[in-house]
Amino acid sequence: MHRLNVFSTLLIVIFAGVFVAGSGRATQLGEDNSYHHLPNLLRPSDQSPDFMALTDFEEDYEETVHNASLAYLNTHSKLIQRIRDDLGTRKIRWHLEKLSHRLLYAPENRGDVAELFADYCREVIEDLLARTGLVNPYCSISTIVEERPNLVDNQGVKAIIVQDLAREYIARYQFSGNDRKRIEISLSGRMTVNEVGSYASNLQYSEETHDWEFVRDRHTVWKSVSANPYTVLMTPLEETLHIALRKYTEKAIMDALVRKKESPSLPEIQQMMHEWLMVEEAIVGGLVYKLIPDVVIKRIPTLPMAWVHADLETKARFDKYRFLQQGIAVVESRGLRESIQLFAHDPTAFRTLLTEPS
């Protein structure tokens, strides 16, 4: 999944993947239909996995964490009452003072599953690249089993396969009443990260040069487990497309910033990011849907189409997929390469197609 965040330092994050060519073994697996049982291996188990740190704690705002903390406070009325009593007033004010969080991961330590899924990923990506003409962005596709691994490689993007992801956080809130007395409350916890795949690029504003600049992540993280195995199977396709097409989204955003006569406000930048993320999700979703029969179902003929439709229904609940169905229609009518060429050369024209009356 892919998101955009704007921080007070004007750092904007868009979530969205030199790849090692598919090995001879991967090709052989596809030919003899050895992936037919892979979906059953991608379902969650009843055992809780052990987590390791993927990143260090980072101090910045994270909406899902803040909302989880507010939900905790709203459901613990006795704690709020104690704060009121200590402050000596019923009316209290509060603000978020500090929020730190880090990503945790559960390693994919099932050796046979990790090897089979990695082979599948390499093979379907090789197929996607051949059909679309896109350039291979990966330097490696592999599992990891270490604390805070090196996520940067100057040769390309690292694709990391994990069994699960979680976010660990520490949030500190300050409460006050009518006088100078202050009470600080620290909340800590862990919450599941629901994205099956993720990739980010950062739009940064330099006070020194007064220019905007995009800096992209050098890694993408893919889960190997989901209640709907189809979401795992399509992740290498979706993330590869996000990574390959991201530069065109970035250019569209930069052009929009340049066209602004006055410096845009933080909310305006947020809205701009959100609108272009919807366009990127539309073309990526349309391309994936077009590729599924020839790339995924060809290798797993028994894959239920009900899983594909369930994924589309889930995405329809989120605003960033508002134009997904239109994206599917555009790619179906224009084809893979022509759709990519249009988005690459004129993202605004592609965006117009999504909003035209059908």
Specify if 43 maps to a domain. yes
Specify if 254 maps to a domain. yes
Specify if 182 maps to a domain. no
Specify if 71 maps to a domain. no
User: Could you tell me whether strands 200-206 and 11-15 are parallel, antiparallel, or unpaired per DSSP bridges?
Assistant: antiparallel
Specify if 220 maps to a domain. yes
pLDDT tens digits along 25-81: 333 334 456 899 999 999 998 888 899 999 999 888 888 888 888 899 889 999 999
CA atoms within 13 A on the CB side of 54: 27
Specify if 39 maps to a domain. yes
pLDDT tens digits along 182-196: 999 999 999 988 878
Specify if 94 maps to a domain. no
Range of the domain at 107: 4-66+102-168+193-355
Specify if 81 maps to a domain. no
pLDDT tens digits along 107-132: 999 999 999 999 999 999 999 999 99
DSSP 153-201: -TTSEEEEEEEEEEEEEEEEEEEE-SSS-EEEEEEEEEEE---SEE-EE
Nearest-5° angle of CA 326, CA 328, CA 334? 100
Q: Which of 108-112, 147-151, 188-192, 200-204 has the lowest mean pLDDT?
A: 200-204
d(CA 283, CA 224): 24
- The answer to whether residue 23 scores a pLDDT higher than 50 is no
Count of structural domains, the chain: 1
